[in-house]
Amino acid sequence: MSLLDVDGLTKRFGGLVAVDDFSFEVDRGEIVGLIGPNGSGKSTVFNCIMGRYDVTAGSVRFDGDDITDDATHEVVDRGLSRVSQESNPIDRYPVAGNIKLFTLPNSVFSFYGGASDEEIYEYAARIDLEDKLQAMPDELPHADVRRLEIAKALATEPDLLLLDEPFAGMNQAEIDALATQIERFREEGMTMVVVDHNMGGLMDLVDRVVVLNNGEKLAAGSPERIAENERVQEAYLAGEGR
Ligand SMILES: Nc1ncnc2c1ncn2[C@@H]1O[C@H](COP(=O)(O)OP(=O)(O)OP(=O)(O)O)[C@@H](O)[C@H]1O
């Protein structure tokens, strides 16, 4: 049984069909790349999985259970977490406080309860942020702000982590470091879906690639097969003209 099973997912915004009858599966332990030109529907798929958007049609199953349209906190409690494209740290709390907020009981905005300092150190250490626990978010370089977003997601102890454009805005050294960390997560038993608008950073990292174009599944297969797929190349060339 797949860990994640998205079947016939459709999401409309008024007259716009952002995701159209899209199906894909993720097995436990896999790293799947979800790629497609800008606006092809990748983030919308994540938003539907996480219960941020109600689906228009189709279903999402996690570990055999139907989670379609469940509330986001219920989806997180089941073991899914998502790192958005946008970073949204709370600037008045240091890194440690930002991580801790994600370990507190739902909708309780206080520092009582939640993870211990040792646990927060461990979450930060998994993404090499442990030396910056007392730093304020607005003092951090971009790559560390992105690491903080990942640490917040790790603090919910996910089995499946959805990463939306994790490499965006990073230099090559930072991309290499993050790819190594993502591989380490897999060794620790985490399953991941990584969204990117191109294949660059993903080729060596992912086991399988699924390609979205105009909300529809265009292709799926190994990174090597996808890189040489002419329909995928054409979709990207067409996307560049937009
Ligand atoms: N909340 C929304 N309301 C209306 N339209 C939306 C909404 N969210 C996304 N869309 C539209 O749905 C389509 C798919 O957008 P989406 O952000 O999912 O694409 P994407 O593949 O993640 O793009 P990018 O690589 O640029 O992030 C786009 O046409 C977008 O404008």
Q: Are strands 4-13 and 216-221 parallel, antiparallel or unpaired?
A: unpaired
H-helix segments, the chain: 42-49, 72-78, 95-101, 117-125, 142-154, 172-187, 223-227, 230-240
Say if ligand 1 is within 6 A of residue 43 CB.
yes
Say if ligand 1 is within 6 A of residue 18 CB.
yes
Q: What separation in Å is there between the alpha carbon of 39 and the centre of ligand 1?
A: 5
pTM value?
0.93
Sole residue written with tokens 């992912």: 206
Position 237 scores a pLDDT of: 74
Instruction: Give residue 94's identity as a one-letter amino acid code.
Output: P
Is it the case that residue 242 has pLDDT exceeding 60? no
Position 111 scores a pLDDT of: 54
Position 110 scores a pLDDT of: 55
Position 114 scores a pLDDT of: 81
Position 32 scores a pLDDT of: 97
Position 112 scores a pLDDT of: 61
How far apart are alpha carbons 192 and 175 in whole angstroms?
Answer: 17
Paired with 66 in beta bridges are 61
Position 146 scores a pLDDT of: 96
Q: What are 60's two structure tokens?
A: 């999402």
Q: What are 50's two structure tokens?
A: 């996480």
Q: What separation in Å is there between the alpha carbon of 45 and the centre of ligand 1?
A: 9
Query: Given pLDDT bands bounded at 50, 70 and 90, which one contains residue 132?
Result: very high
Say if ligand 1 is within 6 A of residue 213 CB.
no
Paired with 4 in beta bridges are 26, 62
Position 109 scores a pLDDT of: 55
How far apart are alpha carbons 138 and 109 in whole angstroms?
Answer: 21
How far apart are alpha carbons 103 and 152 in whole angstroms?
Answer: 8
* pLDDT tens string 9-20: 999 999 999 999
* pLDDT tens string 105-118: 765 555 566 888 99
SS3 assignment, position 21: strand
Q: Regarding predicted confidence, which is higher, 102 or 23?
A: 23
* pLDDT tens string 163-186: 999 998 899 899 999 999 999 999
Q: Cα dist. 126→9, 42, 80, 154, 182 in Å?
A: 33, 26, 18, 8, 10
Average pLDDT over the chain, rounded to an integer: 92
Position 240 scores a pLDDT of: 61
Atom of ligand 1 nearest to the CA of 212: 21
* pLDDT tens string 187-210: 999 999 999 987 777 888 999 999
How far apart are alpha carbons 155 and 149 in whole angstroms?
Answer: 10
* pLDDT tens string 54-103: 999 999 999 999 999 999 999 999 999 999 999 999 999 999 999 998 88
